[in-house]
């Protein structure tokens, strides 16, 4: 996932043919200038002594007053100004919203649906990633939220670390978006390093308790099976909230529940700790408790798409039959 790939197309008319040829250097990373229209040339000549920063500021002031169908000419001119433009766009971000994102939305909005600043920022592709990382550390939760949303338009490993930091945010919606987007990067080395940092945060008694709880919640929601031994250790944490979060995490990760006592969990880890999470879940299908069996069924479906999740009215015998199907599938598909 190296590079600057983008998931969505740009606003119509933003990138004319040849727009990226022969980059210039005005003290910043500046793109090749797009041939200006007669009207744009006349405006430029009216202000012949503007610096690139002044040009960018003037264009962004114009940009944020425009609607979705009007921004393309201004965005083309901003692209030619590179980092000068990015600085000014980030300063105004997210600007007047075309349509606020709602918690009930079934998907995250694309940049070109959010605001003029958001659409323009995304147009810079991978060059915008350092600015998005900075915006995700902004004091305003609204800025942090929309910066995270824009990350959904990219496939770029550079967003992993800032998204992982945002998963500890005190704003629930920021955390929700960050964790949703992080799931696409599970096979990246940077992702694994970021998980290790979350585990460090969860165990660091010097951190505030809410931060540690959010780290445990993030590890649970990201289904980090490597956190199981840590969660067992933290069952003995003096803070009841930490211990409870770890018990929930262990239940989700393993489809087992031995309560708050560390001893049965340690015995189970010594016997099963070297197995994969799928094997833990298959074993959980045979649990005596219906809620654990249901959890195991749903998690296995999410991971394997092998057997549809069982219904809440299914009997234990039906779960045991499904367990045998999974055991045969595992044996056949994962011969050591």
User: Rounded to a whole number, what is the largest CA-CA distance in the chain?
Assistant: 82
How far, in Å, CA of 21 to CA of 34, rounded? 9
71-104 pLDDT per residue, tens: 999 999 999 999 999 999 999 999 999 988 776 6
214 contacts 167 by C-beta, under 8 angstroms? yes
Q: What's residue 272's pLDDT? A: 95
pLDDT tens readout for residues 191-201 = 999 999 999 99
Residue 30, SS3 per DSSP = strand
The b-or-e profile of 55-88 (16+ CB within 10 A means b, else e) is bbbbbbebbbebebeebbbbbbbbbbbbbbbbbb
- What angle separates helix 172-182 from helix 209-221, to the nearest 10 degrees? 40
**At residue 248, what are phi and psi to the nearest 5 degrees?**
-60, -45
Q: Is 333 helix (H, G, I), strand (E, B) or coil?
A: helix
Q: What is the pLDDT of residue 104?
A: 63
d(CA 163, CA 207) in angstroms, rounded, equals 19
């900075």: which residue's tokens? 134
Token pair 């503007």 is found at 50
DSSP bridge partners of 30: 24
| Res 205: pLDDT | 95
The 8-class DSSP code of residue 97 comes to B
Tokens representing 119?
């659409």
With left for phi above 0 and alpha for psi between -120 and 50, is residue 95 left, alpha or beta? left
> How many CB atoms lie under 10 A from the CB of residue 90?
20
pTM: 0.83
What's 259-295 look like in SS3? Answer: CCCHHHHHHHHHHHCCCCHHHHHHHHCCCCCHHHHHH
Give the model confidence (pLDDT) of 250-280 as tens digits: 999 999 999 999 999 999 999 999 999 999 9
pLDDT at 103: 64
pLDDT tens string, the chain, 336 residues long: the values are: 444 555 655 554 454 444 434 433 333 444 444 445 544 444 544 456 789 999 999 999 999 999 999 999 999 999 999 999 999 999 999 999 998 877 666 788 999 999 999 999 999 989 999 999 999 999 999 999 999 999 999 889 999 999 999 999 999 999 999 999 998 999 999 999 999 999 999 999 999 999 999 999 999 999 999 999 999 999 999 999 999 999 999 999 999 999 999 999 999 999 999 999 999 999 999 999 999 999 999 999 999 989 899 999 999 999 999 999 999 999 988 765
């Amino acid at each position: 996932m190296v590079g600057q790939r983008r998931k969505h197309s740009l606003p119509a008319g933003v990138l004319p043919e040849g727009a990226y040829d022969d980059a210039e250097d005005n003290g910043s990373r500046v793109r090749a200038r797009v041939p200006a229209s007669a009207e744009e040339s006349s405006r430029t000549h009216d202000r012949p002594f503007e610096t690139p920063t002044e040009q960018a500021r003037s264009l962004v002031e114009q940009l944020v007053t425009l609607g979705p169908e009007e921004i393309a000419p201004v965005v083309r001119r901003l692209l030619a100004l590179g980092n000068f433009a990015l600085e000014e766009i980030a300063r105004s971000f997210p600007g007047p919203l075309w349509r606020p994102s709602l918690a009930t939305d079934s998907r995250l909005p694309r940049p070109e649906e959010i605001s003029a600043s958001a659409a323009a920022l995304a147009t810079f592709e991978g060059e915008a990633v350092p600015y998005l990382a900075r915006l995700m550390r902004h004091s305003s939760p609204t800025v942090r939220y929309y910066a995270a949303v824009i990350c959904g338009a990219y496939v770029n490993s550079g967003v992993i670390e800032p998204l992982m930091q945002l998963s500890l945010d005190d704003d629930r919606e920021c955390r929700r978006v960050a964790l949703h987007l992080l799931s696409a990067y599970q096979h990246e080395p940077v992702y694994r390093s970021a998980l290790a940092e979350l585990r460090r945060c969860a165990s660091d008694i010097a951190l505030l308790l809410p931060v540690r709880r959010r780290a445990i919640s993030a590890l649970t929601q990201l289904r980090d099976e490597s956190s199981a031994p840590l969660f067992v250790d933290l069952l003995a944490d003096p803070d009841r909230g930490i211990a409870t979060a770890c018990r929930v995490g262990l239940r989700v990760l393993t489809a087992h529940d031995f309560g708050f006592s560390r001893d049965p969990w340690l015995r189970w880890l010594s016997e099963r700790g070297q197995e994969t999470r799928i094997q833990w879940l298959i074993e959980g299908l045979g649990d005596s408790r219906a809620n654990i069996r249901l959890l195991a069924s749903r998690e296995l479906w999410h991971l394997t798409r092998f057997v549809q999740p069982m219904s809440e009215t299914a009997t234990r015998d039906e779960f045991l039959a499904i367990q045998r199907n999974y055991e045969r599938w595992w044996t056949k598909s994962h011969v050591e």
